[in-house]
């Protein structure tokens, strides 16, 4: 069938076209089927239907297809039905519990990267791997395919270090301390990070306050070789691009298949050429890993996969039932981390965790003896070398290296949550604190977030501030405050919880 082109300048992230239902019926295709669209080149695209947006005799081309065809949009294109890619059949094979071979997994990942699969097919694949976990071999092949279908960094010298946190803990700004400490000791650490999906601020959301974070893979390599480390957004690098596409489908499904979790972490580390990796696994109520036993199992699986990929992996099971430091939200967290770098002082939870993970990397990189990494990390913080290196990193990424923590301004609209009684903070609900920070505007509004005055176990007096909510917009502050008042993120009680008396007749 020959159809006249109607450009639709909307990016949908896949090769998709729109047909009028009359033309679709004539072609014998249904929504989700594929067609080949031929102009100067041929593109296989997924079909959407419309009754009135596109007239009969025309074809609507989304941005990606329009760019690929490179046509004059007044011209005619040829359209014919196309078969589903082979990887669509492999998803069914996986759903049936059959094992895939390496070549099949590579083809599947390649089709994911090239946008040849629909969201429904990706959802089926993720659901299948959630129910039928992949074997160690399949997980390794999946990870290698994710590395090989994107850009890779190759450094002339090493060792190359990296870190990753499983996440799930509010205020996890430790990369802002760990990366400059490691780089200040002569090791290379090209740290690619994510933006927040469900949290109040990913590492990239934080670093973006201080400097640009979107760079190509070649720029990341050049900057790392120049100053020893970077803190950049991985989504701009085309490093392990299949991972980002799978995460977009995982989020609405609220699932994180075990094999996908392993491959997601290790593919990004492998793509930047990491030789030594420390993985932070927070455990405890409210985290992704609810207890130490599950944490140990995940650690063994990560270490095993790292060994298969030629990476040295150490895991740290860390306490995750309480926020790290006393801030949640981009500006507040950056201010807290900068203050630690500038003064060497700050919340014990932030400093201790950062020194432990940085120390592990220093030992793995051979610049500290076994058991001496923590001490070297602390020395690097106290003598100002970490701050100096962080300023170099900010400058090489295009930021102002002279920025201080006093320059970082939180949202001007504030409200306090106060203690309802004298006593102690018995319970601190991590997820609620994150939810309140997000309602206040985080992470998009950089100044939005929550300042924590009292943490679990600390004494409070009635009417004393426990949390301060910051927002850039007054209406968002009101929404966050109302939400916090309906369901308090903290529980304050005296040492006496309840008096239980014997029943006696009077």
Q: 329 — phi, psi (to 5°)?
A: 125, 145
Q: Give me the residue label for tokens 């469900």.
A: 198
- Lookup: tokens for 17: 């076209």
| Adjacent-strand bridge partners of 18 | 48, 60
Residues 16 and 10: their CA atoms lie apart, in Å, by: 11
Residue 167 marked as a ligand binder: no
DSSP SS3 for 120: helix
Residues 354 and 351: their CA atoms lie apart, in Å, by: 5
DSSP 155-187: -SS--BEEEEE---STT--THHHHHHHHHHTT-
The yes-or-no answer on residue 445 being catalytic is no
CA atoms within 13 A on the CB side of 491: 7
Residue 143 marked as a ligand binder: no
CB burial of 205-220 (b: ≥16 within 10 Å; e: otherwise) equals bbbbbbbebebebebb
Residue 194 marked as a ligand binder: yes
- Cβ within 8 Å of residue 343, ≥6 positions away: none
Residue 18 marked as a ligand binder: no
Residue 288 marked as a ligand binder: yes
Sign of CA dihedral 63, 68, 71, 74: negative
Residue 488 marked as a ligand binder: no
Residues 349 and 336: their CA atoms lie apart, in Å, by: 12
Catalytic residue among 48, 137, 148, 256: 256
DSSP SS3 for 70: coil
Residue 409 marked as a ligand binder: no
Residue 196 marked as a ligand binder: yes
Residue 203 marked as a ligand binder: yes
Residue 442 marked as a ligand binder: no
Residues 62 and 65: their CA atoms lie apart, in Å, by: 6
Residues 420 and 417: their CA atoms lie apart, in Å, by: 9
Is the CB of residue 347 less than 8 Å from the CB of residue 325? yes
Catalytic residues, by residue number, are: 256
Q: Point out the annotated binding site.
A: 168, 194-199, 203, 264, 288
Q: Point out the annotated binding site for AMP.
A: 168, 194-199, 203, 264, 288
């Amino acid at each position: 069938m020959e159809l006249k082109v109607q450009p639709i300048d909307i990016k949908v992230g896949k090769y998709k076209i729109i047909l009028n239902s009359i033309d679709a019926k004539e072609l014998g295709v249904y929504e989700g089927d594929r067609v080949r669209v031929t102009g100067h080149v041929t593109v296989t695209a997924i079909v959407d239907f419309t009754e009135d947006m596109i007239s009969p005799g025309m074809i609507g081309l989304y941005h990606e297809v329009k760019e690929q065809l490179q046509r004059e949009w007044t011209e005619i294109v040829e359209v014919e039905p196309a078969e589903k890619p082979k990887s669509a059949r492999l998803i069914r094979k996986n759903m049936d519990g059959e094992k895939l071979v390496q070549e099949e997994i590579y083809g599947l990942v390649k089709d994911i990267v090239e946008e040849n699969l629909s969201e429904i097919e990706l959802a089926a694949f993720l659901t299948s791997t959630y129910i039928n976990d992949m074997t160690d071999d399949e997980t390794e092949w999946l990870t290698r395919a994710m590395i090989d279908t994107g850009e890779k960094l190759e450094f002339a010298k090493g060792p190359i270090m990296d870190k990753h946190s499983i996440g799930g803990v509010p205020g996890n700004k430790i990369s802002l301390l760990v990366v400059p400490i490691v780089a200040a000791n002569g090791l290379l650490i090209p740290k690619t990070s994510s933006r927040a999906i469900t949290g109040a601020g990913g590492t990239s959301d934080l670093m973006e306050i201080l400097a640009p974070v979107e760079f190509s893979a070649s720029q990341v390599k050049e900057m790392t070789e120049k100053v020893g480390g970077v803190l950049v957004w991985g989504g701009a690098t085309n490093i392990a691009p299949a991972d980002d596409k799978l995460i977009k489908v995982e989020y609405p499904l609220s699932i994180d298949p075990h094999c996908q979790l392993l491959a997601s972490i290790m593919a990004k580390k492998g793509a930047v050429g990491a030789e030594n990796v420390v993985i932070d696994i927070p455990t405890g109520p409210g985290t992704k890993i609810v207890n130490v036993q599950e944490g140990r199992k995940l650690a063994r699986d990560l270490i095993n996969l790292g060994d298969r990929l030629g990476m040295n992996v150490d895991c740290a099971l860390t306490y995750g039932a309480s926020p790290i430091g006393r801030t949640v939200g981009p500006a507040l967290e950056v201010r807290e981390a900068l203050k630690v770098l500038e003064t060497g002082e700050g919340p014990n939870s932030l400093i201790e965790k950062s020194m432990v993970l940085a120390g592990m990397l220093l030992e793995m990189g051979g610049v500290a003896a076994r058991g001496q990494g923590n001490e070297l990390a602390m020395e690097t913080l106290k003598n100002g070398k970490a701050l100096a290196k962080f300023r170099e990193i900010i400058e090489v990424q295009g930021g102002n290296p002279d920025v201080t923590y006093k320059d970082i301004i939180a949202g001007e609209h504030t409200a306090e949550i106060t203690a309802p009684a004298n006593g102690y903070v018995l319970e601190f609900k991590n997820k609620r604190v994150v939810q309140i920070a997000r309602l206040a505007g985080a992470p998009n509004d950089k100044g939005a977030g929550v300042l924590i005055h009292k943490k679990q176990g600390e004494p409070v007096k009635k009417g004393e501030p426990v949390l301060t909510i910051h927002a850039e917009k007054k209406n968002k502050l009101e929404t966050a405050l109302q939400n916090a008042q309906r369901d308090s993120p903290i529980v304050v009680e005296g040492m006496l919880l309840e008096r239980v008396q014997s029943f006696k007749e009077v």
